[in-house]
Amino acid sequence: MFETNEVLQKLPGHLKSLIIEQPYNDYTAQDHAVWRYVMRQNIHYLKDVAHESYSGGLEQTGISIDTIPHMYGMNRILREIGWAAVAVDGFIPPAAFMEFQAYNVLVIAADIRPIDQIGYTPAPDIIHEAAGHAPIIANPEYAEYLRLFGQYGCKALSNPYDKKIYQAIRHLSILKADPYTKTKDIDQAEIDLEQLIKQYGKPSEISLIRNLHWWTVEYGLIGELTKPKIYGAGLLSSISECKNALKDSVQKIEYNINAKDYSFDITCMQPQLFVTPNFQQLTDVLEEFVDGMALRTGGLSSIQKAICSENIACCEYDTGVQINGTFTNVISPNNQAIYLQTTGPTSLSYKGKEITGHHKDYHKDGFSSPIGKVKGIDAAFELLTEDELNEKGIVEGQTCGLEFESGIKVNGLLRKVHRQDCKILLLSFENCTVKFQEQVLFKPEWGTYDMLIGNEIVSVFNGPADPESFGYYFPVPEEKTHKIEHTEEAKKLHSFYQKTRDIRELKASMALSDLYHQVKKEFPDEWLLFLEISELFKADLAISEELKNDLKAQLQRFKDNGKPLKTLVEDGLKILG
């Protein structure tokens, strides 16, 4: 389905369902003209205000100025710096987006913004992804930050509202990317998104780390607070916001951990931006944030985050054994987690690899296990030898009883002691009863009881520890970006863009004056097409002064319309000189 390379071959299967074939033949000549306009503006303006890695990075990542890049060509060049690119259908789930980054893969939304959003678009598009993200990854220090961010970000826990907000943002972006969407539909989608955001309670880990991503990867500034340079992809790919970002009216704040508390609005330009002194600071802040994530803190509060997420998550004991599933309950007297429960398919793993036989079909109805020390055993339980177990009355093939310091009691016939790396990971019981005070947690008729060994939960994170064995995958979004069905009038307009392009590339011998008169008659308001023709006029000595003056009058008419059209046309003319 897509051209692979060494980087893409390392992608896990659960991400590949989100990859699509780049619909290259669907790009119109107008789309290529939009790309060309934005890129030429960026090259002209960014050479002085972007981070030094940008200009050189364009060449290193195989990005053309005149035509929308083909993913195949990009991948052949990106492989040289250890990265790759794949096409996806618009916004994908944040956890998936970040996991792609963890594998050194750029996710590129295949669509391109419509001409009425040429200066700024809230939707991800190929200009934003390819021209914004790709050039900066040629900087090794920044590329490592991006990979590390992806590695941590995909482990961040979410809550149910995150999914709703993601779906609302995706819906809005799809509507805005379609030039034929009715204004009332966009207005309603914006209202729905705003209401969801207002209902959002305490921010989840994924929402906070997305804030850090937004203020660095997307909208980051670097250098001196009073005279920063641009490196964020959202700025590098947005003509309007790029210029706005450096104005004094946009507050500049020193980048630190507090940026996590600044939310953002994708539908408008940002009122403040964060400035990092260097790329190392990005990594330092990220590590500071991760120190507070459930991934590193573990404990009761982390388990509660997993329960709140309502998603598949992993809880890891201090012994390295892991539970993977949807967590629904934790018993925690005195604010101490002593018993975990999942509902539905659950697997057990050890150090990221599924334990043989303990797959999600075996534990299809859920799983539960104590946490903590067993009474009367001072040594680490997981390191006890067979003789030491026997001395405590824990003998395979015999009935035994274990009481935990928490008060959890396990009584049953011990069938098997499961060891790995010379460590006891779990005990399997038959005819087993598990109780806490008067509460029965497991009954003999429920089958085999597998009890994990470990004193505490040291790490909790999103997704299973062994995604492939679990059969984990990101579902393809139900709502697809719209396949644009152009009107006959639009197709005719696009044909004029193509003719202009063919003349510029010496692929057609049509008289330039005839093309101009036809465009003026049939599409008098197509400012970008007039700019393209203006460039050709400069190079064609046969064009009369009368015709050149007529074209100037047309362009002046656009400028007289005021902003933003005036700015777009003036900026385009500056490129022509």
Residues 255-299: tens digit of each pLDDT: 999 999 998 877 678 899 999 999 999 999 999 999 999 999 999
Please state the rounded mean pLDDT for residues 156-185. 91
Question: Got the DSSP string for 215-268?
Answer: IIIIT-EEEETTEEEE--HHHHT-HHHHHHHTSTTSEEEE-SGGGGG----TTS
Q: What per-residue confidence (pLDDT) applies to 242?
A: 85
Kindly indicate the confidence band of residue 324, based on its pLDDT and cuts at 50, 70 and 90. very high
CATH of 8-287, one of 1.10.800.10, 1.20.1070.10, 3.40.50.10190, 3.90.1170.50: 1.10.800.10
- How many C-beta atoms surround the C-beta of residue 254 within 10 A? 12
User: Is 1's pLDDT higher than 50?
Assistant: no
Kindly indicate the confidence band of residue 34, based on its pLDDT and cuts at 50, 70 and 90. very high
Tell me the average pLDDT of the chain: 92
Residue 564, preceding peptide bond in cis (omega within 30° of 0)? yes
Please state the rounded mean pLDDT for residues 311-336. 97
Written as six digits, the tokens of 133 are 């993200």
Please state the rounded mean pLDDT for residues 430-435. 98
Residues 450-506: tens digit of each pLDDT: 999 999 999 999 999 999 999 999 988 899 988 888 999 999 999 999 999 999 988
Instruction: Record the pTM.
Output: 0.91
Written as six digits, the tokens of 55 are 């200009």
| 3-class secondary structure, 372 | coil
Kindly indicate the confidence band of residue 4, based on its pLDDT and cuts at 50, 70 and 90. low
Q: Which residue has the higher pLDDT, 247 or 177?
A: 247
CB environment 29-61: b (16+ within 10 A), e (fewer):
bbbbbbbbbbbbbbbebbeebbbebbeebbebb
For residues 41 and 157, what is the distance between their CA atoms, to the nearest angstrom? 40
Residues 335-380: tens digit of each pLDDT: 999 999 999 999 999 999 999 999 999 999 999 999 999 999 999 9
Kindly indicate the confidence band of residue 2, based on its pLDDT and cuts at 50, 70 and 90. low
User: Is 129's pLDDT higher than 90?
Assistant: no
User: Is 112's pLDDT higher than 70?
Assistant: yes
C-alpha count within 13 angstroms, C-beta hemisphere, residue 469 = 20
Q: What per-residue confidence (pLDDT) applies to 3?
A: 58
For the chain, the domains span 8-287, 313-470, 488-576
Q: Of 114-123, 269-278, 280-289, 390-399, which gets the smallest average pLDDT?
A: 114-123
For residues 64 and 528, what is the distance between their CA atoms, to the nearest angstrom? 19
Question: Got the DSSP string for 84-139?
Answer: EEEEESS---HHHHHHHHHTTEEEEE-----GGGSS--SS--HIIIIIIIHHHTTS
Our separate counts of H helices and E strands in the chain read: 23, 18
Please state the rounded mean pLDDT for residues 179-197. 91
For residues 347 and 324, what is the distance between their CA atoms, to the nearest angstrom? 5
For residues 160 and 390, what is the distance between their CA atoms, to the nearest angstrom? 47
